[in-house]
Amino acid sequence: MPAFNIVPFVSVENMMRLVHAVGIEALLTRLAAAIAEDFAQWHAFHKTPRIAAHSPDGVIELMPTSDGTTYGFKYVNGHPSNTVGGRQTVTAFGVLADVGNGYPVLITEMTLLTALRTAATSALAARHLARPNSRTMAVIGNGAQAEFQALAFRALLGVDALRLYDIDPAATRKCLRNLAGLGFDLTACTNTAEALRGADIVTTVTADKRNAVILGDNLVGEGVHVNAVGGDCPGKTELAPEVLRRADLFVEYEPQTRIEGEIQQLAPDHPVTELWRVLAGDALGRTDPRQITVFDSVGFAIEDFSALRTVRDLLAEYPYYEDLDLLADPDDPRDLFGMLQRARPPRPAA
Amino acid sequence: MPAFNIVPFVSVENMMRLVHAVGIEALLTRLAAAIAEDFAQWHAFHKTPRIAAHSPDGVIELMPTSDGTTYGFKYVNGHPSNTVGGRQTVTAFGVLADVGNGYPVLITEMTLLTALRTAATSALAARHLARPNSRTMAVIGNGAQAEFQALAFRALLGVDALRLYDIDPAATRKCLRNLAGLGFDLTACTNTAEALRGADIVTTVTADKRNAVILGDNLVGEGVHVNAVGGDCPGKTELAPEVLRRADLFVEYEPQTRIEGEIQQLAPDHPVTELWRVLAGDALGRTDPRQITVFDSVGFAIEDFSALRTVRDLLAEYPYYEDLDLLADPDDPRDLFGMLQRARPPRPAA
């Protein structure tokens, strides 16, 4: 039995080992299954919109949730200008804890894990919202999230043709380089319209922090599924409102998406469907091949919870973690001071 | 310059080293100074009541705050029945981050640090609320927090006579043992009335999670300062409401204390004074030697912030920390996937 003071910690290096040991696509599939399972238990979760501390440079957020047995939260920042100094725009770490005694049971990096769970959530939604046999996806925005989306859509939907576009050609080149040799049919495009040609699915995942029109109304044809990932905070959207008005809209958690998602551009009573209802069989996903569907993804705490518990479970099989001496654990719980006193180093002899 | 991926981590063992290197009373004094400094900057802080996840067994809370330059939060649980299984009722860890880029700059155990900052806050308040030259303190509840309170009151006020009482005599014996040889005049008492005899200050710090009357009205005489530490959540109070009505009441952050503190027993408009106003010179502390004063302490996020930044500053002088590989740091910030891909272990030869 482990000592009470020890909490398993998954570093970035160990997370990468874990991902490769399981296999990226196998892990994405497993994450999607965990998210589907937790979304189907929607009412068991204590849900709260993220707690954000905004500043001129960005935002720091805490995203807690609990299913009554296990508690999880993620710390995540969003600082668009970080790349100038060589830092990530978004970094994250997360904690899982036992509701029964409040003790943390896992601390892990979540920058990589968030990229994986975001892609897994997108693909999970698309499995219910994209046309069956969708094989071609346009990826608008070829930054840090792009390749994860690509692999998730292949793992879950069989998408194997990608049409890539980014306002910065270097990003597209990076994406092509990373995906080369992985069995995709890859096409670099010089504008959004070209990227959308023949696409069954459009993933928008740009990093611009403003109300941009990445996807104009005239570009989105019948039957397309739009996986809108990049618009995820107040003032940051990617889709023309006309696209949203022509589409059936699916969201993670309506109160949060109204504030942070693409639908912040619409009337507050514009109808949307929460994804969990589709997964639970309470609502329909796509019903018509000509229908336009939009998954207005902003990222929700339950997805992080699902990811955290998946990592916790995997550690039993793949022990890629270190022991962190995080919690004071005196022999007598009331004797915290005695523990401290007994740790006093002996005085050097005079 | 440190790599961007690394965050300093202070384990329990390193926190104990740090405490002994600085000296407990010197550290308590330093913590009180930092808390006084931050409380005096009250309006610079982004304040939010703690975010609590309640369950039948206890509560898990996140306590974030920011002064606009630095962000801090504490994870803390409260599970009264934990001691049955040999765990701490309260454990905690904390994080400090740079508001400008959102990167964490410190992760530390906070079980010990919370015990220290709670005691430092109590003593800081008492320096403004207890009668000058107070030397004798009754300590009702001799659990994990008792000795820290004792040392803080000596370091900041010169209190050197302690009258100890706990419903469990074993707790009092533990407290006597730990404080023996530290220069206090110690008296073990068999009931609260006896403990209060001649006391200038009464500290109540019991762990009972209910509305208990640890301090009845008839026991509290003129001129006493009551340092009420143990009543800190809805349904958990220690003082008879009559004591509160006869006293001048001081709190950390009124909106939080109305819910969690002793004053949950009073009308919502019963007058209280926020401690920061006393520290900033905006309000008076004690004005009369016959006055009864109560510091209705529940613990506030700014105190944790002050403790976290004190530890961060001390690490420059006392490098008791480990490097934690917490943040993904690809060479090209947009190339998270490339970093992951390059970490793939080589396939074994067939």
Verify that B137 and B219 share a domain, yes or no.
yes
Of A112, A177, A339, the CB nearest to B336: A112
The active-site residue out of B38, B166, B232, B296 is B232
Tell whether A217 is covered by a domain. yes
3-state secondary structure of B75: strand
Q: Is residue B121 part of a domain?
A: no
Q: Are residues A165 and A239 in the same domain?
A: yes
Say if residue B91 is in the same domain as residue B222.
no
Say whether both B96 and B31 belong to one domain.
Answer: yes
With a cut of 70, say whether residue A213 has pLDDT above it: yes
* Distance separating alpha carbons of residues B238 and B211, to the nearest angstrom: 6
Cα separation of B194 and B138, whole Å?
9
Of A77-81, A212-216, B149-153, the one with minimum mean pLDDT is A212-216
Out of A166, A200, A232, A248, pick the active-site residue.
A232
Predicted confidence (pLDDT) per residue in B323-337, tens digit: 999 998 888 888 999
Give B229-270 pLDDT, tens digit per residue: 976 677 778 899 999 999 999 999 999 899 989 999 999 999
Q: Which of B235, B202, B228, B249 is nearest to B297 (CA)?
A: B228
A333 plus A265 within the same structural domain: no
**Mean pLDDT over the full length of chain B:** 93
pLDDT of residue B1: 43
CATH number of the domain enclosing B317: 3.30.1780.10
Model confidence at A122: pLDDT above 60: yes
Residue A349: band (very low, low, confident or very high) from pLDDT cuts 50, 70, 90: low
Angle at A233 between CA A84 and CA A9, to 5 degrees: 70
Give DSSP secondary structure letters for A126-185: HHHHSPTT--EEEEE--STTHHHHHHHHHHHH---EEEEE-SSHHHHHHHHHHHTTTT-E
Question: Residue B214: pLDDT band by 50, 70, 90 thresholds?
Answer: confident
- pLDDT given at position A1: 43
* 8 A C-beta contact, residue A49 and residue A259: yes
Are A334 and B83 contacting, i.e. CB atoms less than 8 angstroms apart? yes
3-class secondary structure, B258: helix
Of the pLDDT bands very low, low, confident and very high (cuts 50, 70, 90), residue A142 is very high
Domain of residue B227 covers 130-299
pLDDT for position B349:
59
Q: Is B217 a catalytic residue?
A: no
Higher pLDDT, B181 or B209: B181
Co-location of A144 and A65 in the same domain: no
Q: ipTM of the assembly?
A: 0.91
Q: Are residues B277 and B170 in the same domain?
A: yes
Q: What is the pLDDT of residue A24?
A: 97
One domain, residues A43 and A155: no
Residue with the larger pLDDT of the pair B199 and A330: B199
Q: Which residues contact A350 (CB under 8 A, 6 or more apart)?
A: none
- The verdict on A18 and A95 lying in the same domain is yes
Contact B4 A87 (CB under 8 A): yes
Does B12 sit within 8 Å of A326, measured CB to CB? yes
Query: Is A347 contained in some domain?
Result: no
Lowest-pLDDT range of A18-32, A83-97, B181-195: A83-97
For residue B119, tell me if it sits in a domain.
Answer: no
Instruction: For A143-183, write each residue's pLDDT tens digit.
Output: 989 999 999 999 999 999 999 999 999 999 999 999 999 99
- CATH number for the domain harbouring residue B148: 3.40.50.720
Instruction: State the Cα–Cα distance between residues B28 and B26, nearest whole angstrom.
Output: 6
Mean pLDDT of B44-66: 90
Out of A112, A330, A340, name the one closest to residue B328 (CB). Answer: A112
Q: Are A277 and A323 members of one domain?
A: no
Q: What residues in B contact A112, CB-CB < 8 Å?
A: 328, 336, 340
Judge whether residue B315 has pLDDT over 90: yes
Q: What is the spatial distance between Cα A136 and Cα A202, in angstroms, rounded to a whole number? A: 9
Let me know if residue A350 belongs to a domain.
no
State how many domains chain A has: 2
Give the pLDDT score at B316.
Answer: 96
**Cβ neighbour number for residue A130 with a 10 Å cutoff:** 26
Predicted pLDDT at B2: 52
pLDDT at A217 over 50: yes
Testing the interface with B: which of A4, A60, A87, A145 to mutate, by most B Cβ within 10 A? A60
Is residue B349 in a domain? no
- Are B317 and B253 contained in the same domain? no
Sign of torsion over alpha carbons B250, B256, B258, B264: negative
CB pair distance less than 8 Å for B60 and A78: no
